[in-house]
Amino acid sequence: MNLISGQIEEIYVHEGMTIGKVNVRGAFLRVPLTFLMDAKIGDTIVIESGVAISKTDPEHPSNI
């Protein structure tokens, strides 16, 4: 498993899919938000294999 976390900076729709521009340690990734339809700008999310799988609390990070 290759889990990473990052913060959503922008959300937009591309070809019918909701995409998040996510800041991961200064690098930006374009991540499908298919499983997190309630995600919003500023949320910290967990990414697996290039797809957002859950939101996380930045104040109480897990072992990511």
pLDDT at position 59? 72
Quickly state the pLDDT bin for 2 (edges 50, 70, 90).
confident
pLDDT above 60: residue 63: no
Q: Does 47 map to a domain?
A: yes
Overall number of domains in the chain: 1
Total-model pTM: 0.86
Any idea what the CATH number is for the domain that residue 14 is in?
2.30.30.140
Q: Which residues form the domain of 21?
A: 3-56
At 9-40, the pLDDT tens digits run: 999 999 999 999 999 999 999 999 999 989 99
* Inter-residue long-range contacts of 54-61, CB under 8 Å, 24+ positions, other chains counted: 56/5, 58/7, 61/5
pLDDT at position 49? 92
Angle at 32 between CA 47 and CA 30, to 5 degrees: 80
Q: Does 39 map to a domain?
A: yes
Quickly state the pLDDT bin for 53 (edges 50, 70, 90).
very high
Q: Does 27 map to a domain?
A: yes
